[in-house]
Structure 1
Amino acid sequence: MRTSELDALDQALVQALLIDGRAPFSQLAEVLGVSDQTVIRRYRRLRGEGLVRVVGLPVGPRVGLVESWLRLQCPPDAALAVADALARRPDIAWVTLNSGGTEVQCITRARTREDHDELLLRRLPRTRRVTAITAHSILRAFIGGPQYWRGLDLLTEEQLGKLTVPVYQLTGPVLHLDAADEAMLAVLARDGRTGYPELARAAGLSESTARRRLDQLRERSACYFDVEIDPRLLGLESRATLMITVAPGELAAAGAALSEHPEVPFAAAVTGTANLIAVVLCRDNDELYRYLTERIGALAGVQHVEVVPQLRSIKRAGMMLDGYRLVDPPSA
């Protein structure tokens, strides 16, 4: 399943869902200038074939998740098995195999500091196939998560004006999620467009209460909706992680600049020698080269850049990848 599977209408639909993953089909149809049935048919095909999935996820900083970016070094014959084992864990996302097949990268999203430390200090060090671990605490995300990726630009300004762009408050007191909230988020992590009757059954609420609860979670910036898609389906074959060292006084400006680059779906300030991490998606290595020399090279304060090529994506925000298709991770 390659780029030919996603025509211009498919990609415009994906862009609209990136902005508002739970927009009603009728609103999406109005934005795209087609019938409701056309949008429903297109989405059901993409969803049914595992090419696109909307997922509802908690906003880590708002609900108290402890997030880190991990780099794990492994022997070449062990890295894939380590990546697969990590991908099965519900507290780990964005698992990739990198750097000649000897490095695994991922993001941890632990409920508590104790759970985070248990993983880093006990579980992973006991795995003989992991030879080294580097952990970078995520200090501030500039793009990614609630801030939607700007890599698709098929919609006109008029079309964009018909969509509601959520505004997220990422700082402030940690919000408490009760059992009903957690139950709804567990369902939305599998399908972010799940209907209110199913959400109500999962949470033990009335349908009207489930609708009000979800609206409140969104208004309080406790959750967001993302679109999972293999970037290769959009013709983006060259993928890399950039570990950038920036002068501290220029870090905020550099991160803000990266957030405007359509090549960057994720960028964050982190702890460590490299204080800025960015994931870059390009059509080929020549485009990646131009991006590095013309865009990254023009940023003020950049002192050093390590380019780590991504060989394979094992798990995205919530779904594992089987070829080009998104599948639910098996139980750990």
Structure 2
Amino acid sequence: MNIDQFDYDLPEELIAQTPLKNRSDSRLMVVPKNGGEFQHTRFNHIIDYLNPGDCLVLNDTRVMPARLFGMKEETDAHIEVLLLKQREENQWETLVKPAKRVKVGTKLSFGDGLLRAVCTDVLDYGGGRVLQFEYDGIFYEILNSLGEMPLPPYIKERLDDPDRYQTVYAKEVGSAAAPTAGLHFTESLLEDIQKKGVHIAFLTLHVGLGTFRPVKVQNIEEHDMHSEFYRMSEKTAQLLNKVKEHGGKIIAVGTTSARTLETIASKYEGRFEAESGWTSIFIYPGYTFRGIDGLITNFHLPKSTLLMLVSAFCGRKRILEAYETAVKMRYRFFSFGDAMFII
């Protein structure tokens, strides 16, 4: 398939720059997969579209303050580093700007030497570098003191409250970006959903380059996804299998949850097993879903792998029609924007 089949026109003013004061006040477009009119409501009414016995699957990853600003030790040239994926205890895959200044052997310093690093490898994507870190103390405590929240480049406004780029259930530290569909939920809304008899299940996928790396090939089938770490517990696997056996719907909250569920379900013929590992699953039209029955998601960038995933789930023409409607109705797009429920 050609990448231009996943393009659409978006006025820049519809890109949400700041989160709403109240998370669940965002708008919600309900998109019936098999036809019918789009419905327009507020996110806090999503409970009206859930039934007892259904299960919401949430990604409990927590975003790291993964953007670091430092300098080359030899020249004091300024360097920006984005942590992407931990390889070993002190070794990370990163994106570096400007990349031409960082070669194998280059030494970097952050926070007047509180954190230091040396480049040990050049990766095969733009700006990709492996850094070996050196420090005294606890890495994540140092990162919390030196790092900044890695907001996407299309967000130009300063985020006053970093917790607004975390879900209310964020727990497992390790992501370079938020699973943004979950940003709409409040603790009270989740409590109300559970009171209705809807199950809540958690899994983990640490969002890295694989989720937001742009597609640079015309034929999307030639695009390679980078791997991201995932984990599903025995408790979650048992609950999901029970829900399926009793005819409930498994609803992925976000494309990261969907990719994790499909990674596991595709291995076990539609069932779930407790496991952890690395996934590079790339879902685009033609894919047969085995794990999910519904998807809660934000509105995604043109030509992105995320738009391809939702197109695979709902149909490309149907999704592009929904996006055209969202533009006409002035929905807010991307990370801090409004939501869609495909069911």
TM-score by length of 1: 0.26
Please identify which structure carries the higher helix content: 1
TM-score by length of 2: 0.26
